[in-house]
Structure 1
Amino acid sequence: MNKALLVLFLLCTFLHIFAQENYNADSFNITSGDLTTNTFKKDSTANAIVIYEYGNSYVDKNDFKLRTEVKRKIKILNQEGFDHANVLIHLYKNDSGRYEKASEIIGTTRNQVGGQVETTKLKEAHIFREEYDENHTLVKFTLPNIKAGSVITYSYTITSPFMFKYHGWAFQSDIPTLYSQYDTSIPGYWDYHIKLVGGKKLAINDSELKKTCLEVGRGSADCAISTYVMKDVPAFIEEDFITTKQNYLARIEYELKTFTQADGVKQHYTKSWKDVDKELRTDKDIGKQLKKSIDLEEFLAPEIIAENDPLKKAQAIFSYVQTNYTWNEEYDIFNDVAVKDLIKNKSGNVSSINILLHNLLNEAGVKVKPVLLSTRNNGFPTMLYPVLSDYNYILVQAIINDKTYLLDATDDYLSFGQIPYRCLNHHGRLFDFKNESKWIDLKPNNQTASYYMAELSLDDNNALSGQVRTKKTGYHAYDSKKAYRNDENAYLKDLEEMHLNSEVSDLETDLEDHSSPEFKESYHIKHELESIAGNIYLSPILMQFFSENPFKLQERTYPIDFGYKDTYFYSANINIGSGYAVKSMPEDMAFQLPNNTGTFVFTSKQVNNAINVMLKITFNKSIYEPEYYEYLKEFMSKILEVQNNSTILITKSS
């Protein structure tokens, strides 16, 4: 190949590579680059990408309804991305017969076939409407003729009479987005709290005032015109150790604060915490129920009432509610709160059970207050201003001997002062009906840890056997107590799976009290070892703490939320007697996460005829920021390497 041809070849190759990523993210129009590009180098796992999307919300000056126009252009990269050709529009309707509607729905699929562009349009007959429930209607359609490489576009307009529900905008989804723009026009009659969620920065955030944009009778209003843009937004891929993805999806939300009529009269929608405190104090479901007096003699044994130690008395009252009333697994805390019905039926929702606990403790002289919170799956509550619909759970705070406890009697296996894992959602609102409410941290009081101590011996038949004793605290204890009580056989099977290639027998536990803060057990273990060419390969860590690395993403943009700090400890004393000799030992290892936020230590040494092994893993934070993700990923990888590949080489003595 001569020099000129080589230059031409390299130029063509460069242009081809460039064309592979030549998406038109500047407009809704489809270009040849959109059609010919079939890769996305920034995320090789992506099955589809949003090339361009645009939203525009404004109040129509003719009928004063809220219009939201949506346009979206998506590239389907492979067959796994076909689902993104399915479009779902959620519409709201109220009990008064007012409703949102979707119109001007247009959809098109374009494919490049034999050098020509093939266009297929969405037909009206393929747009379906479904009455989802009494307050929601769904509009569904699927773009036609989808293939790997298709570029789809669709647009629609939502008309809404509900200005209190100004349309928010999601910049992020489960596929990457190259360009997302949302334009808004908000007349001065309406004043909103505007909240940017997800922690991502806007590429463009512009606002200006447009004079006299809306006229109502003899009055008029200026409009706040805003443009919000995000670029190169990565896909949101949900992974373990997250509260709910709704906490972290990049989006903009609106909450109506006030509406000012043309005559200047204001109507307030967002209230202050002082207003909410007053409302809850007199609320028929929560406020009045919390203030009801109760006769302890109707519920408690005389010895509990006579108990002089306030902590022991509180623990006995907690145990009484916990064991005598069953949670019906309903979260609705603002409706159907009836302690009377709970007492009658022995079953009720979260509010009923924990309000009964509150009232019994209060009557017994314990200082108690209610705590409202949102569970992990329900999302973070808004902290800047009160939004009661954010909350779906209630706990009891008790102060005894100057120590603070958070209590929940919905679960038999919770210990005194332990709240369910579902409630470990950063912050709760403590209500003090004599003073103002305030935010409190929802953190575990007790340590969560698992300790395993093994005394093992190697016999002449190459069998390793002995006794394992364990102690678990915190949420490890809770999980083990519940699993053991629910199905002892399944629990034993799980133990055997944890101890790879081992036989587990003679299991004994100390589980007399479901609500004990600890769970202790002991069992016998037997592990057959193989001899290969006179050598025996012994793995000194006889249990699998982690079966795989839970961190698999190329990048994680949201926190790693374990909920609690965690510790694993394993020690083994392995007696090999005088009949065996050690030929090699695994290397000791120690490493830690940045800022001492986690440590891993593994040591092994021979002392006379015994081998002592120690492994300790600590996670010193309950929540790790995304910057720790790569370190945690490597941390777990090293733990698995030591756990699965550490080997002691021994041989029989001559």
Structure 2
Amino acid sequence: MPEPVSWDNIRVENGLKKHARRAAAIVFGSLACRNETTRNTLRTLLEESSALKIFDVGNCYFEFQVGNGSFVYVYERHIRYKVLNKNGYDLANYKINLYRSNNSAKEDLNNMEAATYNMVDGKMVTSKIGKDAKFSEEFDKKYTIKKFTLPNVKEGSILEFKYKIKSDFIFNIRGFSFQSDIPTLYTEYNVSIPEYFVYKTNFTGYINVKRTKQERVNANYIAGLSSGATLSQYVLENVPALKDEAFITTLDDYRPTIDFELQGTNFPSEGFKDFNGTWPKLITGLAEDENFGAFINRNAIAKTLLPTILKGEKDSTKVTRLIFDYVKNNIKWNNDYGFYASSTNPKNVFEKKSGSSADINLALLSLLKEAKITAYPLLVSTRDNGAHPGIPIMSKFNNVLVMVMINNKSVLLDATDKDLPMGMIHYSNLNHQAFVVDLTKKFGNWVSTEPSIATEKIYNYHLVLDKENKLKGKLSLYSRGYSAFNLRNRHRTANNEAEFI
């Protein structure tokens, strides 16, 4: 083929690099390599993808524990990667998060097999993970992180991980994401749910995941007792990489994912029990929960504190501000989000003087309720947690705020930060909407969390041109909204005036 032709002068462009990052494979012929310009472009494009996920297969099924008479679910996962260049070496480091509650319920990693495969002199060499490459880290009181590192990773290596987790937390069985930050050839999730359980499913993302199978299968959970289960299979092939971009809240809003939450049970001797199939059911559960509704209603500490806080004040706006300021200044946020309090009594939170967002804002709600201020819990999914699907799924919330009614106007409160005034919530909660809950009427509805105060900075210059044609004067800066919040926070945390300026 005579030179030059179009493929001899292919140059690197941003659009071409963007497509290369998302592509599952780059296909080219030998003629594309003969000219230096195109050859260099090809090398650049190949470096845009650090690795390829060959397959990612998950399986979830249930087992019955005869010893304690309860079900657990088993989650199995099998992943295989190909490392394309040095930027893919980090895939050799794998982490698994395991959760445990305050009681004996927990998740256990029952098995982990991992290996690196390399072609050496025409032969496949397998390097299995060693005992010294397995680590366990206590992240906090509730989470343990299991860490694994594969050996002998090179460009062209195949990395494989295969593991099994057993979990007592059947209210939410593990979801599955079908897309990651590298291209994926094939991904599959198989879920087998016993006939005794009914789960709600929630899909997120913008790529349609195919349900390739849904059938009833035989299952034996108890020896001698025949049972059934529903097996569902979800498949997605040739999935492009998902890369972070500016001006989005979280990639999880765009990543194709399936989640499960228990709606009810259907045991032969009990019939169907609906736990949270509707919002009223869900709200009833919150009202009766000792770490939510019962926590708010425990008012002994409120009766003790309010006379000192209010000092006879009766105006509802001033009462709200006094209580709000007291909570902000006396309980420090530990940076943990949640909508269930960590204890069953607000007294414990005030004595400890620190707590999660739920501890702080539900304690605030308890004081407001005792002061006869009309106030409601406000359930939120933070920006990092992603948008709530809008259907009755409790597990998609991860935070709680407070909404008060003052002079027939709603005002949002968030006592986790000293610098937040009434009507402003932490930036992490600005996820468009939240769900306000009336625990008495068992009613709820969505309300906007969009800022009511514009965020802006105004610069005023007062300058004089002197005889040497130099400008001298003063600069004044006025901030509103979140600009003012950031400025207050920076001023409070600065060591001195010079550092602040």
Q: What is the TM-score of this pair, normalised by structure 1?
A: 0.59
- Aligned residue for 2:454? 447
Instruction: Tell me how far 1:430 sits from its aligned partner.
Output: 1.5
CA distance, structure 1, for counterparts of residue 479 and residue 374 of structure 2: 31
- Give the RMSD, CA atoms, in angstroms: 4.3
- 1:51 aligned residue (35, 51, 54): 54
Change (3 A) 1:194 1:494: same
Instruction: Give 2:94's aligned amino acid.
Output: V
CA distance, structure 2, for counterparts of residue 343 and residue 167 of structure 1: 35
- Aligned residue for 2:201? 194
Change (3 A) 1:397 1:214: same
Are the aligned partners of 1:89 and 1:139 in contact in 2 as well (CA < 8 Å)?
yes
SS in 1 for 2:89: helix
- Aligned residue for 1:630? none
Are the aligned partners of 1:102 and 1:156 in contact in 2 as well (CA < 8 Å)?
no
Are the aligned partners of 2:261 and 2:395 in contact in 1 as well (CA < 8 Å)?
no
Instruction: Tell me how far 1:473 sits from its aligned partner.
Output: 0.7
CA distance, structure 2, for counterparts of residue 351 and residue 368 of structure 1: 15
Instruction: Give 1:231's aligned amino acid.
Output: N
Query: Mapping of 1:484-563 within 5 angstroms?
Result: 484-487=491-494, 489=496, 492=498
Are the aligned partners of 2:275 and 2:281 in contact in 1 as well (CA < 8 Å)?
no
Q: Which has the larger radius of gyration?
A: 1
- 2:257 aligned residue (245, 248, 251): 251
CA distance, structure 2, for counterparts of residue 245 and residue 268 of structure 1: 33
- Aligned residue for 1:471? 478
Instruction: Tell me how far 1:201 sits from its aligned partner.
Output: 2.4
Change (3 A) 1:287 1:421: same
Are the aligned partners of 1:338 and 1:352 in contact in 2 as well (CA < 8 Å)?
no
Q: Deviations over 1:491-542 (max 9, x none)?
A: x5565xxxxxxxxxxxxxxxxxxxxxxxxxxxxxxxxxxxxxxxxxxxxxxx
Q: Deviations over 1:291-346 (max 9, x none)?
A: 437375332234x33x5xx44554455445545x2324364542225443555676
Q: Deviations over 1:143-181 (max 9, x none)?
A: 332222x23142524263658254432222232323323
- Aligned residue for 2:20? none
CA distance, structure 2, for counterparts of residue 135 and residue 67 of structure 1: 20
CA distance, structure 1, for counterparts of residue 8 and residue 194 of structure 2: 53
CA distance, structure 2, for counterparts of residue 59 and residue 345 of structure 1: 40
Query: Mapping of 1:103-502 within 5 angstroms?
Result: 103=111, 105-111=113-119, 116-122=122-128, 125=131, 128=134, 130=136, 132=138, 140-148=147-155, 150-158=156-164, 160=166, 162=168, 164=170, 166-202=173-209, 204-210=210-216, 212=218, 217-221=224-228, 223-237=230-244, 241-261=247-267, 265-266=271-272, 270=276, 272-291=278-297, 292=299, 294=303, 296-302=306-312, 304-305=313-314, 307=315, 310-323=316-329, 325-329=330-334, 331=336, 333-336=340-343, 338-341=345-348, 350-351=357-358, 353-355=360-362, 357-362=364-369, 365-381=372-388, 383-387=390-394, 390-393=397-400, 395-435=401-441, 436-487=443-494, 489=496, 492=498
Instruction: Tell me how far 1:476 sits from its aligned partner.
Output: 0.5
Are the aligned partners of 1:205 and 1:229 in contact in 2 as well (CA < 8 Å)?
no
Q: Deviations over 1:21-73 (max 9, x none)?
A: 359xxxxxxxxxxxxxx979878533222133333445689x99866554333
Instruction: Give 1:175's aligned amino acid.
Output: I
Are the aligned partners of 1:185 and 1:225 in contact in 2 as well (CA < 8 Å)?
yes
SS in 2 for 1:87: strand
Instruction: Tell me how far 1:405 sits from its aligned partner.
Output: 0.8
Are the aligned partners of 1:93 and 1:100 in contact in 2 as well (CA < 8 Å)?
no
Which structure ranks higher in relative contact order (CA pairs < 8 Å, sequence separation ≥ 6)?
2
Instruction: Give 1:173's aligned amino acid.
Output: S
For structure 2, the residue ranges without an aligned partner over 5 or more in a row are 11-24, 29-40
Q: Deviations over 1:614-641 (max 9, x none)?
A: xxxxxxxxxxxxxxxxxxxxxxxxxxxx
Instruction: Tell me how far 1:205 sits from its aligned partner.
Output: 2.9
- Aligned residue for 2:91? 84
Q: Deviations over 1:567-593 (max 9, x none)?
A: xxxxxxxxxxxxxxxxxxxxxxxxxxx
Instruction: Tell me how far 1:365 sits from its aligned partner.
Output: 4.9
CA distance, structure 2, for counterparts of residue 368 and residue 327 of structure 1: 22
Aligned length: 459
Instruction: Tell me how far 1:188 sits from its aligned partner.
Output: 3.4
CA distance, structure 1, for counterparts of residue 365 and residue 63 of structure 2: 51
Instruction: Give 1:329's aligned amino acid.
Output: N
Are the aligned partners of 1:214 and 1:223 in contact in 2 as well (CA < 8 Å)?
no
CA distance, structure 2, for counterparts of residue 171 and residue 483 of structure 1: 41
Q: Deviations over 1:216-245 (max 9, x none)?
A: 6353325334232142321333x5655444
Instruction: Give 2:342's aligned amino acid.
Output: N
Are the aligned partners of 2:105 and 2:169 in contact in 1 as well (CA < 8 Å)?
no
SS in 2 for 1:475: helix
SS in 1 for 2:303: coil
CA distance, structure 1, for counterparts of residue 249 and residue 7 of structure 2: 50
Are the aligned partners of 2:333 and 2:417 in contact in 1 as well (CA < 8 Å)?
no
Instruction: Give 2:201's aligned amino acid.
Output: I
Are the aligned partners of 1:171 and 1:233 in contact in 2 as well (CA < 8 Å)?
no
Change (3 A) 1:65 1:278: closer
Are the aligned partners of 1:180 and 1:230 in contact in 2 as well (CA < 8 Å)?
yes
Instruction: Tell me how far 1:77 sits from its aligned partner.
Output: 2.2
SS in 1 for 2:447: strand
Are the aligned partners of 2:282 and 2:394 in contact in 1 as well (CA < 8 Å)?
no
Instruction: Give 1:110's aligned amino acid.
Output: N
Instruction: Give 1:234's aligned amino acid.
Output: A
Mean alpha-carbon deviation: is it higher for 413-422 or for 456-465? 456-465
Regions of 4+ moved over 6 Å:
9-14, 38-43, 133-137
Change (3 A) 1:102 1:364: closer
Mean alpha-carbon deviation: is it higher for 405-414 or for 374-383? 374-383
CA distance, structure 2, for counterparts of residue 341 and residue 384 of structure 1: 34
